[in-house]
Amino acid sequence: MLVADFDFHLPEDRIAQRPLADRAGARMLAFDRTTGAFEDRVFRDLPSLLREGDVLVLNNSRVIPARLFGHRSGLHTQPQHRVTGRVEVFLTEQISEWEWRVLARPGRKVLKGEILTFGENVLRAEVIEHGEFGERVLRFEPVVDFYGALEHLGHIPLPPYIHREDEMEDRERYQTVYAQQRGSVAAPTAGLHFTQEILEQIRGQGVEIVSITLHVGLGTFQPVRVEKVEDIHLHTERYTLSSEAASAMNNAKREGRRIVAAGTTTVRTLEHCALKSGNGPLEPHSGTTDIFISPGFSFRLVNALLTNFHLPKSTLLMLVCAFGGTEKVLKAYRHAVQSGYRFFSYGDCMFLS
């Protein structure tokens, strides 16, 4: 397969630049993956599309203010490389307590051994590894409250297709109402539509709601740079499968009830865990995954999927095509474009069952 096989025309004005005032006010395309039929609905219809006994799985990862603006301090382990200037750092993955994988701008100029400062020396970090495409590894000097410093200094990492600076509103709206475990650098955007009222309505219908955690990392922002789908390799991301979620899904599979995933991050976590368990039951654990799901993948756990509309030629669109069928999904996407649906993180959604 070619990456170009997953392209579609998307006018610039279809890309949502701001969230709706009403979280649950999004349009929703209901899609039957058996027939390929689809119907224009609204997100508030989701409870009516769920069944008593379904298990709805949410990703409770919390987005951190991962964009930092600072300075090259002029300090370097090699005196000949002592330079100054502004720098932007985007935290993408925590490696250890004080070490982070990041994207740095200007990418070519930030050298291994440099000391970067943020705020009035509130945070200081040494560049300890130098990678491609602006990737670096930073080792921060220990501070009493690192995440508190991030909340003070950092900016919400809005995706690059949102052509504006982050605002105070984004700190709340680029976060699900059930976000708990901090660590993501992008929101699990299908979850942005839920309100506490809709979650209570879903529970009241006899749907079991459980949470997993997958911290969304660099892969969400990196463009696909190969021509063949088979050559795609994703960055690893950290996840946790709780005992509650494992038990609920084991029972559902045994009893023939549906597992409904809210978002592609949830799908990737669940299907990774299913592969890891072999033919046995799911066991609670934490780990990392770089699972890449494309057409031809055999789904073991997920029976229905709520997801936003994704970028052309993206790995997330490939996952949706694997679940719903490439031609059928792309036909539904063309309908969404023609019908004025709002695309990407702050956009509308699709329910595939």
Kindly report the CATH number assigned to the domain that includes residue 223: 3.40.1780.10
Instruction: Count up the domains in the chain and report the number.
Output: 2
**Whether residue 71 is found in the same domain as residue 110:** yes
The domain in which residue 148 lies consists of: 67-153
Same domain for 106 and 186, yes or no, is: no
Residue reference for tokens 């990774």: 272
136 touches 110 (CB < 8 A): yes
81 and 93 part of one domain: yes
DSSP letter for 2, please: B
pLDDT for position 2: 96
Last residue of a domain, one of 118, 153, 188: 153
Cα gap 64→236, rounded to integer Å: 18
pLDDT at position 296 is 96
Regarding whether 132 and 180 lie in a shared domain, the answer is no
- CATH code of the domain in which 78 resides: 2.40.10.240
Per-residue pLDDT reduced to its tens digit, 257-283: 999 999 999 999 999 999 999 989 999
- Using the predicted structure, report yes or no on whether residue 221 has a pLDDT greater than 70: no
Q: What confidence tens digit (pLDDT) does each residue in 55-110 have? A: 999 999 999 999 999 998 776 656 656 666 889 999 998 889 999 999 998 877 78
Pairing assessment for the beta strands 38-42 and 55-59 based on DSSP bridges: unpaired
**What distances in angstroms separate CA 114 from CA 30, 79, 101, 135, one per listed residue?**
51, 10, 15, 14
Domain shared by 204 and 322, yes or no = yes
For the ranges 22-31, 127-136, 330-339, the lowest mean pLDDT is seen at: 127-136
Same domain, 269 and 181: yes
Q: Which of 84, 119, 153 is a domain's end point?
A: 153
Overall pTM surpassing 0.85 (yes/no): yes
d(CA 141, CA 98): 7
Whether 161 is covered by a domain: the verdict is: no
Tell me, yes or no, whether 238 lies in a domain: yes
Last-in-domain residue among 99, 125, 153: 153
Q: By the 8 A CB rule, do 102 and 116 touch?
A: no
Mean pLDDT (the chain) is: 94
